[in-house]
Structure 1
Amino acid sequence: MSDSPGENAQPPVVVWAVSPGDPPFRMVQVHGNIVGTARNMADVIVLARRAGVKNVDLEDPAVVRWVKGGMYTWDF
């Protein structure tokens, strides 16, 4: 067991499961607040940067948590 702060911390960006829409979308949460909807990976980056995340590495689980589908899941 480690005493490192942040070892079990939530990543700053959470991208929620695909929601129905035309086109389908995913809600984006940054630091616990919903900041908007994304229809693709570029939208996630824009929303995260606007909310203050400087280095948005979509492949880094310490930065982004993808819920019910990875970064390539944008449809049902």
Structure 2
Amino acid sequence: MTESASPHISQPRILVLGVQPGKPPFRIMEIDGEVVGMPRTITDVLETAAYHGIRVHDLDDPDVIRWVGGDKFTWRHH
């Protein structure tokens, strides 16, 4: 198999994990493998990224951010 035939697996700097129970619910956010916050909204994710020097232009870009256990609109625990 050549490299061009290999599937691309991105390693984004930002990882937002699944919703955790709480009042209000939150998600755990990592940057470069380090826990940096517990955002409760998309705005919190963007502000935390900016604080760490990362500008996010596209929340759906898998090379920039990975959403685990739901997408950018998942903020309630089911």
Fold match by TM threshold 0.5: yes
Distance 1:21 1:13 in 2: 22
> Which 5+ residue runs of structure 2 have no aligned equivalent?
none
Distance 1:48 1:2 in 2: 31
Change (3 A) 1:28 1:47: same
1:10 aligns with 2:5: no
The percent identity for this pair of structures is 40
- What displacement does 1:75 show? 0.2
Matches within 5 A, 1:26-37: 26-37=27-38
TM-score, scaled relative to structure 1 = 0.85
> Aligned to 1:75, what secondary structure does the other structure show?
coil
- Could you list the runs of 4 or more consecutive aligned residues of structure 1 that deviate by over 6 angstroms after TM superposition? none
Aligned length: 73
Q: Which has the larger Rg?
A: 2
- What displacement does 1:32 show? 1.0
1:55 aligns with 2:53: no
> Which 5+ residue runs of structure 1 have no aligned equivalent?
none
TM-score, scaled relative to structure 2 = 0.83
Change (3 A) 1:13 1:56: farther
Distance 2:71 2:32 in 1: 19
For 1:24, the equivalent position in structure 2 comes to 25
> Aligned to 2:63, what secondary structure does the other structure show?
coil
- What displacement does 1:54 show? 2.4
Aligned-pair RMSD on alpha carbons? 1.5
